[in-house]
Structure 1
Amino acid sequence: MARWKAMPAGLDPAVVEFVAELRRLKDASGLSLRDLADGTGYSSSSWERYLGGRLLPPREAVESMATAVAADSARLLARYERARDAWRRDQLADSGPEEQADSGPAEGGDSGLGDGADSGLGDGADSGLGGEDDSGPADTVVADAEVGAKSADPRVRAFLRQLATVGISAAAGAGIAVLVMAPGHSASATAATSRTTVATAKPVPYTCHFVRKAGLWYAGNSATRTDHLQVDMWGPEVAELQCLLQHAGQSPGGIDGNFGPLTETAVIDTQKAFHLDVDGQVGPQTWAALRR
């Protein structure tokens, strides 16, 4: 029986309840992380992150685990839905656990499990963890010109972009209100200002203009080869990802710059096709596979 480490501070109770249930099911099944990886198609390093409360697994991983441990899938998925909603609320409020920015510890690091060796289980209780290879990519974050500074947390970049958009919209709205209330302001000037505001608020149109440089494909939205992307992020990097997914024959459901469920499914299918670590997120190895 594993001696589990405490989960990261600040997790929502719904997330804590869900992760605790995953731990209970794993312990009851007697499966090692390697066994769990073999039975679900998700790497043991990914399961270390999920069971440590550092990363919320994709729905497909939860369904696969329920099958592997012969659990009540409906009950487990109901808990997962509550945990996923809470996790996303924390992301939007930028108040989630600090560890979410980390896609998982490097092999031999803190897996968030027990007090044992680097595998994360106390006293070597789970033989499936000792010295396992991590096939997952290292998550690397590069400079973001839109923010103007390096950041180790991709959520910070997305959050600052969102703040900038809200700030611009609020300023435009305030300007219209002042003009309308000003004496002698003409209706035609107000209408012209409103038309300008509406045009500014329209979503950024993304397109795919493929070009091959130095043996790599680019779609014209971003040249990144390392940025970490995951569900609920948005921007030109996501649009670039969606173009490359479409180019690889995996439809993301459209090129809108939003990393939603359809894009996540396309990423998972691509990772399976290229025999990569399957976690539904995009790091250097997934970028490399898509740009080849």
Structure 2
Amino acid sequence: MPRWKELPGSLDDRARQLVVQMRLLKDRSGLSTTSLAAKTAYSRSSWARYLNGTALPPRRAVAELARLGGADATRLLVLHELAEATWARTEPAGGDGGSPADRDCAPASTEEPRRTSRRFPWAAAVGATAVTVLLVGLVVAAPWEEGHGGASRTSRTSVRPTGTGVYSYQPGRTYDCAVRRERGLLRAGHSDSRVAVLQSGSTSWDVVEAQCLLRHHGFSPGPVDGIFGELTERAVQRFQEKRGLVVDGKVGPHTWGALRR
């Protein structure tokens, strides 16, 4: 797993999340930037800029990375559209010194025109809805670990359980785990779910609850941050193996049942 450079502090949360998702996909694919260049229409230096948060990747680059990482490109492209709306005002001063054509190394004929609210008057409404969808259950997500562009573990802010409600992703935040038994079931106070299906990329209060319960049972999921990343997936697999469950790294009804006991 490479140690990623810290992302520019000027990036908007949505732009930052897009880059983090892309970093996870690159790690999942096992490809270097040189290999990405060989398998896509973009150069090694372009991929380095996209993954370091110094240039907004084109939609096609995002879609190709999702394909290589074995992920559904649809939601990642929605996140790209949200990030694109803020990138112009959050892009680090001075950029990377290259021209637009140099930054996007795909042939001009393959580039898609920038969408504007004038041509697509419904874009604002779709974007507002997409924010909620993405924050509740984005399929391609990465743990905000040191080396993935997020805050280090020592700089995270830990907060008390807040109970169920609308999940709002906040980079660098972790949550307390006050696990207790109520009516025979273990609860951490973040979610009452016993059926939600969680997998790599999920972000929600259900993930916070599952991470707390995993930690309670002695299987560390890494930071309890509501992001179902690689550390959480491995903890789930170890827990499932220990409990004699199907080892698929996902939290479904059967795994929930074991976590609640």
Note whether the superposition's TM-score is higher than 0.5: no
Q: TM-score scaled to structure 1, two decimals? A: 0.35
* TM-score for both structures, normalised by structure 2: 0.39
Looking at secondary structure, tell me which structure has more helix per residue.
1
Compare CA radii of gyration and give the structure with the larger one.
1
